[in-house]
Amino acid sequence: MPYSKRRNTRRAAIGSLFFVAGLFAGTIVAVPKLHRAWLAEQTPVEMTCGELLQNGIGEASVVRLTDATVAEPPEEMQFAMLEPDPNAMQAMPVGSGMGAWMSGDKVGMAKKTLADALRHPRAQTMLDEMVRGEVMPQHLGGTNMPQPLKLSPGREVAAKAVDEVRSTGSLTVFVSEDPTIQWIADGANLLGVGLPESFVDLAKLDCYSLHPVALTESKQNAAIWAVGSALTLTLGWLLCSSAGWGIWILFCPIAAVAGVFGLPMRSGRGNKVTWTLAFFAGGFCLAAAFVLTVFLGGLGSTPSSWAFQAAGFVSLCAGLALWLGILGSMKTKRNMAMSISSLDNLVVAEPKRSRSSKKAAKKSSGDVDASKFASDGVRQDKLQETLSKNASYSRRYLDPRLSVPANLTIRDEANENIIVWQNNAFEEPLAIEIGRGDAACSATVQVGCQNLVLAMTDELDGNIRLRLISFLDNGHCLISVDGSYPQLTENLSNEFATISVFESADAKKLLAKHLEVSADAAERQHSGLIRLDSNEWRDIVLLSERAVKSVLHDEGLQKWEIHDATYGRFAFPCRPIQSMQPV
């Protein structure tokens, strides 16, 4: 089995265990513990068993039953419902295997198999945690009829209740509604399964679950159970939702069903829209958890409903899983954006041409350039039109001076970013100097990420600024900067360039964000990224500077008289960029 499939299967299996453990521990153990811990300070109300059944739960959930007696569950459990019907028309099959199953009474055989499994010694521990003692008035002691007052599950709970009745003559318990029997009866009726008549009659009454106050846990212990089970369920939900689809869903159906919850953000397919929707959905789940638990469930108050409290617990974990899933989806998409396979999908296919076609293309391109562009790289056919449009503006944009000093020193802060980019497959940096008027600043440029990105650092007023530049094959310029640029405080764009501003000054995070934006732009514009040559750094820097000024001009933040220009393969305004020809 491939490693990725084994990892998905292992993740799904672990997620299933965490999910089931957290679900049962939270709804069946933690929520009742927390509810009882908050009610422990209530003053008990004395009443008889009959008064409790007649009046129901009043203003207090703590009740002292003055005439209670406890019927403990028998040591040898009887499974009458699972015994085969002696009046069945068809005899039980002899032997085992598929032949016996197909030839005999299938329902009877299933009942017998389940009854034998429950009688196994290893099942005794599980049964001891599931069986429930019954509470009834003293004058009804010894009856075998099912009672509407049942203790909470556990043989030890029944033993504790018996000791309290024998020593005090009464039983002080927490009382809560118990709709379990009604649910079982409704489900059996829906499925057409027959139930004993006594069980059906009991389902018509209001049933209550009683838990001895003497077994009340501390608030600290209850909180530990609640937090631990919530984290377990949330982690299981995240693991199930992050496992990719595969054959494992046949063996881990719980993980597959729970994993549908995170399908929109699985495998890095999330985006800003998905994350925003997930954020609001998580907030809705958390708000619903508060309403279900406190207002409808009555956690820590009277009356209360365990079903609503359990639903609120699940809703709380769903909200936490959604919010944590957003962070996981962002990280996954960032890692996928920086992966080699993802970068290969963004690259524009390089055409293969013969030498004769190369010469013809070069000659044709040279003729076009000579006819359209002057020696200074300005389109003369658009120059007059641009000048007339921008005649009211006082500043004409001029390209900065770029030079390569012999002994330029790089600050330690800038060198840290350079090292980070080199660790992510960038080339050795080139130290340059950028001159604007009488001022000049030092900078470094380096090409990397399979030659799809040019990374640039420069220094202004003692601040190190980061810039990443890429190009789509239609000529659109993609620029990502950190928050150190005073004139760039928000995302800006026009038809020539897209500028993305990120507050983080971490070089690796900025690179991941830039690749995410580039992938989204390429998908949106049905385009691809162009491979850059390290020798084109001068053209790339000059074009990016001009593109930034054009965006600021169009957004009304600055006023510039910007002329058309060409820089090797690149041009402003943007035009389709030819891929580098293979050597």
pLDDT digits (tens, 9 = 90+) for 22-60: 888 888 888 888 888 887 777 888 888 888 888 877 777
**Residue 121 scores a pLDDT above 70:** no
Q: What angle do CA 544, 545, 549 make, to 5 degrees?
A: 110
Q: What is the pLDDT of residues 173-199, one digit of tens each?
A: 888 877 777 888 888 888 777 777 777
Predicted confidence at residue 267, as pLDDT, reads: 58
Q: pLDDT tens for residues 288-318?
A: 999 998 888 888 777 778 888 899 999 999 8
Q: Is the pLDDT of residue 507 over 90?
A: no
442: its two tokens: 């030092």
The Cα–Cα gap between 375 and 567 comes to: 11
pLDDT value for 115: 62
- What local confidence, expressed as pLDDT, does residue 485 receive? 79
- Per-residue confidence (pLDDT) for residue 28, from 0 to 100: 85
Range with the largest mean pLDDT of 47-61, 240-254, 307-321, 376-390: 307-321
Q: Quick one: pLDDT at residue 103?
A: 47
* pLDDT in the model for residue 569: 87
Model confidence at 321: pLDDT above 80: yes
What is the pLDDT at residue 315? Answer: 92
Kindly report which listed range (61-70, 113-122, 518-527) carries the lowest average pLDDT score. Answer: 113-122
13 near 249, Cβ under 8 Å?
A: no
SS3 63: strand
**532 vs 541: CA distance, rounded Å:** 12
Q: Average pLDDT of 353-368?
A: 43
CA angle in degrees (0–180, nearest 5) for 182-185-187: 105
Which position has the higher pLDDT, 88 or 123?
Answer: 123
Helices 507-524 + 306-337 axis angle, to 10: 90
Whether residue 74 is predicted with pLDDT greater than 50 in this model: the reply is yes
Highest mean pLDDT among 250-254, 333-337, 346-350: 250-254
In the chain, count of helices (H) and strands (E)? 19, 17
Give the least confident one: 57-61, 269-273, 444-448, 507-511: 269-273
Q: How confident is the model at residue 203 (pLDDT cuts 50, 70, 90)?
A: confident
Positive/negative CA dihedral, 541, 543, 546, 550: negative
Q: Binning pLDDT at 50, 70 and 90, where does residue 2 land?
A: very low
- Residue 248 confidence (pLDDT): 57
Q: What's the average model confidence in pLDDT over 329-347?
A: 58
Look at strands 134-137 and 570-572 and give their pairing: unpaired
The reported pLDDT for the residue numbered 222 is 87
Instruction: Indicate whether 211 pLDDT > 80.
Output: yes
Averaging pLDDT over each range in 17-31, 103-117, 500-514, which range is the top one?
17-31
Q: How does residue 387 score in pLDDT terms, banded at 50, 70 and 90? A: very low
* Cis, bond preceding 573 (omega within 30 deg of 0): yes
Q: Do 426 and 449 meet the contact criterion of CB atoms below 8 Å apart? A: yes
Residue 117 backbone dihedrals phi, psi, to 5 degrees: -65, -40
Q: Write down the pLDDT at residue 348.
A: 57
Mean pLDDT taken over the chain: 75
Which range (92-106, 213-227, 494-508) has the least confidence? 92-106
**Mean pLDDT within 227-242:** 86
Report whether 215 contacts 172 (CB < 8 A): no
CB neighbour list of residue 120: distance below 8 Å, 6 or more residues apart: none
What six digits make up the tokens of 357? 């076609």
100 or 429: which carries more pLDDT confidence? 429
Four-residue CA torsion sign, 261, 266, 269, 275: positive
**Residues written for the chain:** 583
At position 331, the amino acid (one-letter code) is: K
CA distance 300 to 41: 10
| pLDDT tens, position by position, 395-441 | 788 888 888 887 777 777 778 888 888 887 788 888 888 887 667 78
Top pLDDT among 387 and 314 is at 314
Instruction: Label residue 133 by pLDDT band (50, 70, 90).
Output: confident
Q: What confidence tier does 270 reach under pLDDT thresholds 50, 70, 90? A: low
In this structure, of 4-18, 206-220, 305-319, the range with the lowest mean pLDDT score is 4-18
Residue 354 has pLDDT above 80, yes or no: no
The distance from CA 330 to its chain's CA centroid, rounded to whole angstroms, is: 9
Q: pTM of the entire structure?
A: 0.56
Here the tokens at position 485 are 């640029």
Contact between residue 478 and residue 472 where contact means Cβ atoms under 8 Å apart: yes
Residue 105 CB neighbour total at 10 angstroms: 18
